[in-house]
Amino acid sequence: MANKTREPLVHISRRSTLPWYQSWGIRACALILSLGVCALVTMFTTGENPLSVFGAIYDASFSSQRRTWVLLQNIAMLLSVSLAVVPAFKMRFWNLGGEGQMLAGALATTACMICLRDAFPNGALIPVMIVCSIAAGALWGFVPAFFKAKWGTNETLFTLMMNYIAIQLVSFFIIVWEMPKGAGQIGIINQSTEIGWLPPVAGQKYLLNIIVVAVLTVFMFIYMKYSKHGYEISVVGESVRTARYVGIKVEKVIIRTMVLSGALCGLTGLLLVSGTDHTLTTTITGGRGFTAVMVAWLAKFNPIWMILTSFLLVFLDKGAGDISTKFGLNKSFSDILTGIILFFIIGSEFFINYRISFRHSAKKEETEHV
């Protein structure tokens, strides 16, 4: 060739879809790499050898039966929020308001437990609580969806701001209901009567929560994959124009999906207050609304894979938390480790979606041809 054009060192092109075992293989590699980096970081900060660090992570979840139950409970709660936000994400509606929707549900539950404890017997109160929490969460999801559908208002920031409004509402009511006066907290609600507490199943405090979430997982899988609604959601997510063209009422789908998303978040709020903590604090959600974004996204919005990703995040979080107490480190250590792992997995998506070919190989071909 006479006129030599400069060829870039790497050439990137889009891959056609990889078979599932290859794409999950790449993700697994990323995970292993990230664990390696985490081990290095832990080694530097604690001076402990990485194997015993991993041992400690494992022990944090599986060394006793109680710990395993706590692990399962935490997975269930995270999974529940993730299931709630997944239809919205699939629709490319960035619902970052899981926190607020959960808090709204939690607040409604608490209101029922405190204000209606003398009005209803326990058997009637719990259904009332369920209805109220779902309605509150749905309302919190409806507001941003309405404005998005009607005027295209940016949902990312709207839902984010709704979180803070919910937080302030909760802190307002915490002061209104504080027990004892001036304590700045509600304390355990109905401790002696246990009115409005979700009952233990088979002697296990958390089993009911876990069963509810398991049912939700199956429901969401079927809803997304086999129902007409689920199909409409994915069409709107892929292309709003196509959806309009085939006669899907986009506005209706947006509002309906967000109401569902908010409602499930609200139900999670109920599980947290009535099924777990029996109190209300502004931090009861524990940032799960944000972690749910990662859980859903890492699992490519597939409810079944989400069991795995939420297990992974909870397991690591517990492990890192344990390491930090064991070595006298700060609690935030787990956030750093979670961050590192997420960066690797986020980065690995590139290698699933794109093929990289180097200049080197191209040159070789050329010489072979000559």
Partner 1 sequence: MFDFLTFIPRAIMQGIPLLYGSTGETLTEKSGNLNLGIPGIMYVGAISGVIGAFFYESSVSPETFNGLLAVLITLLATLLGSLLMGLLYCFLTVTLRANQNVTGLAMTTFGVGFGNFFGGSLIKLSGNSMPYLALTNTSLAFQTKLPSADTTGWFGQLFLSYGFLAYLAVILSLIAAYVLKRTRIGLHLRAVGENPATADAAGISVNRYKYAATCIGSMIAGLGGLYYVMDYAGGIWSNNAFGDRGWLAIALVIFTIWRPNLGIISSFLFGGLYILHMYIPTGTNLAIKELYKMAPYVVTIIVLIISSIRNKRENQPPASLGLSYFREER
Question: Interface residues with partner 1 (CB under 8 A)?
Answer: 12-14, 94, 96, 147, 151-154, 156-158, 160-162, 164-165, 168-169, 171-173, 175-176, 287, 290-291, 293-294, 297, 328-336, 338-340, 342-343, 346-347, 349-350, 353-354
Going from the C-alpha of 4 to that of each of 1, 12, 223, 340, 364, the distances in angstroms are: 6, 21, 56, 43, 16
Q: Nearer Cβ to partner 1, position 12 or 124?
A: 12
Q: Nearer Cβ to partner 1, position 158 or 206?
A: 158
Nearest of 278, 275, 288 to residue 102 by alpha carbon? 288
Closest approach, Cβ 307 to partner 1, in A, equals 19
Cα separation, 79 vs 61, whole angstroms: 17
Going from the C-alpha of 226 to that of each of 220, 260, 306, the distances in angstroms are: 10, 17, 18
- SS3 category, 15: coil
Closest approach, Cβ 349 to partner 1, in A, equals 6
Closest approach, Cβ 132 to partner 1, in A, equals 21
**247: region left, alpha or beta (phi > 0 left; psi from -120 to 50 alpha):** left
Residue pair 93/145 in contact by the 8 Å Cβ criterion = yes
Look up residue 77 and give its two tokens. Answer: 């709660």
Q: Widest CA span of the chain, in angstroms?
A: 92
Q: Nearer Cβ to partner 1, position 232 or 317?
A: 317
Cis amide bond preceding 87, omega within 30 = no
- On the 0-12 / 13-18 / 19+ scale of CB atoms within 10 A, 121 is exposed
Q: Nearer Cβ to partner 1, position 279 or 348?
A: 348
Look up residue 18 and give its two tokens. Answer: 């990889």
Closest approach, Cβ 300 to partner 1, in A, equals 11
Closest approach, Cβ 153 to partner 1, in A, equals 4
Residue pair 233/91 in contact by the 8 Å Cβ criterion = yes
Q: Nearer Cβ to partner 1, position 122 or 302?
A: 302
Closest approach, Cβ 226 to partner 1, in A, equals 26
Cα separation, 8 vs 153, whole angstroms: 41
Per DSSP, 9 falls in state S
Closest approach, Cβ 183 to partner 1, in A, equals 12
Q: Nearer Cβ to partner 1, position 93 or 206?
A: 93
Computed from CA positions of residues 186, 187, 190, 195, in that sequence, does the dihedral angle turn out positive or negative?
positive
- On the 0-12 / 13-18 / 19+ scale of CB atoms within 10 A, 179 is middle
Q: Nearer Cβ to partner 1, position 181 or 228?
A: 181
The single residue listed with the structure tokens 């009861």 is 284
Closest approach, Cβ 118 to partner 1, in A, equals 23
Closest approach, Cβ 161 to partner 1, in A, equals 4
Q: Nearer Cβ to partner 1, position 235 or 337?
A: 337
Q: Nearer Cβ to partner 1, position 262 or 275?
A: 262
